[in-house]
Chain A
Amino acid sequence: MTQKYLIPLTAVFLLFLVAYAGAGAGLGWFFGIVFPYLAVIAFLVGFVIKVMGWARSAVPFRIPTTCGQQKSLPWIKQNRIDNPDTASGVFIRMLLEIFLFRSLFRNTKAAFNRNASNRITYSWEIFLWVAALAFHYAFLVVLLRHFRFFTSPVPSCVQFLEALDGIVQLGLPGLFLSGVVLPAAVLFLLARRLFDQKVRYISQGSDYFPLFLILGIAVTGIFMRYFTKVDIVAIKEMTMGLVTLSPTIPDGVASLFYGHLFLVSILFAYFPASKLMHLGGVFLSPTRNMANNTRAKRHVNPWNYDVPIHTYEQYEDHFRDKMIEAGLPVEKKE
């Protein structure tokens, strides 16, 4: 089997080395100023184009997945969230989907029985959901914590989040829980792709690349904070320069930081072209965001071509004499 993870892994290493060596060779202005700006522009433009494209595409049918009892007779209890027929039900369903990944919670795995019958069985597999939830929330906390590099003075909500994330008060600088959870969850998601043969078979380079990239970002960040150390005041001067549109390159910014920043920029630039667009796509899943009310309400395909139609009433008006003559039943006897 081709090793589909090798190219993404090598790519992430090379990208890091390019920035690390480039910054050392005096190209700090490119990796620290030009590329981050380009990456943010690419991210926003790409994201908007992608979502506008989705907004334009046809959704001619109501195709909600139904995971519970549909609204039916009054004495049959409806599952209002898993088979919603109202906008409020859909809203709750979307809320649970976006914040708790409810459909992933239902994840099952198929396997053959180990005994003689060798039948295929499906069992509940919760760990993908657990790791996905841990990963996304740890990443969110890490992202929000980074606002301390883009605001001055730092808002108290960011400081509160930092205090909460560093609540274990281990070591100096204090350990952030998200710094443990994020790499652990990424490693689990990666191990799942590498060691579960069924998942490995369907995994492509574009599945591995974001994982390695995010792992690279996390590892470089962790190294800067806990191990090799960097001059954080100089780095904040630089990031503040970027967001106040007066970019500077202060002395004493470590090459490791340029490696970190470049990987983050690559993530931003790559985002709209990748599977990571599920950030926007989750809101637009037609199987989740539509009410299952096709029995109560008539939905006409808005893309139906505007042609003159011939209804049954018109048909009968047209052929009534002939139908009566042939003995066919008619609705109106003249």
Chain B
Amino acid sequence: MTKNMIMGGLAVFVLAVLSPFWFNMVTTTQAAPEPELLGPAKQAKKCVLDTYDMRTSHMSLLDEWRDAVVRDADRIYVAANGHAFNMSLSTGENSCLGCHEDKAKFCDACHTYTSVDPYCWDCHTNPKEIE
């Protein structure tokens, strides 16, 4: 190994380690999405989980709902705040997307930001798209 090869390799390594820093300098960085409540959700003042749990654990809740509905035909979810909800992602006014009407803002903004690609929409459709 010649000195030049070692120094060249070392330079490549340092650049690779610093890649998160320079990559964001040479590309335009998208800011974090600002969640906001729109339409019916703004008036409702109640949800299936409180805000922090919604942000952290909604996927687990949806997973449980899917099993409850598909396997046990159990369609009513009573939240910790005492309100009953229809266990549905996209059907009817009492579903997730019935209240949070804008899928792009309610689902996609954060999923795209954190590179999450849920397979919900392999089966479900956005009610807005049907009309």
Contact = CB atoms under 8 A, between A and B. Distances in A.
The answer to whether A and B come from one shared complex is yes
Interface of A: 40, 43-44, 47-48, 51-52, 54-55, 147-154, 158-159, 162-163, 169, 171-173, 229-234, 236-237, 240, 243-245, 252, 280, 283-284, 289
Given A252-B55, A280-B13, A289-B1, A243 B62 contact: no
B24 A229 contact: no
Contact of B59 (A148, A173, A283): A173
B57 interface: yes
A244 B31 CA distance: 11
Interface residues of B, number: 37
Contacts of A147: 20
Interface stretch (B40-48, B70-78, B106-114): B106-114
B113 A152 contact: yes
A320 B90 CA distance: 107
Interface string B1-24: 101001101100110011011011
A229 B32 CA distance: 19
A163 B115 contact: no
Interface of B: 1, 3, 6-7, 9-10, 13-14, 17-18, 20-21, 23-24, 27, 29-33, 52, 55-57, 59-60, 62-63, 110, 112-119
Contact of A284 (B1, B14, B27, B113): B1
B13 A47 contact: yes
- Please indicate which of the listed interface residues A44, A243, A283 has the most CB atoms of chain B within 10 Å of its own CB: A243
17 contacts: A48-B10, A55-B6, A147-B20, A151-B24, A152-B31, A153-B30, A159-B115, A171-B63, A172-B59, A229-B57, A233-B33, A233-B55, A236-B113, A240-B32, A243-B23, A284-B1, A284-B6
A231 B116 CA distance: 13
Nearest to A248: B32
B123 to A, nearest CB: 13
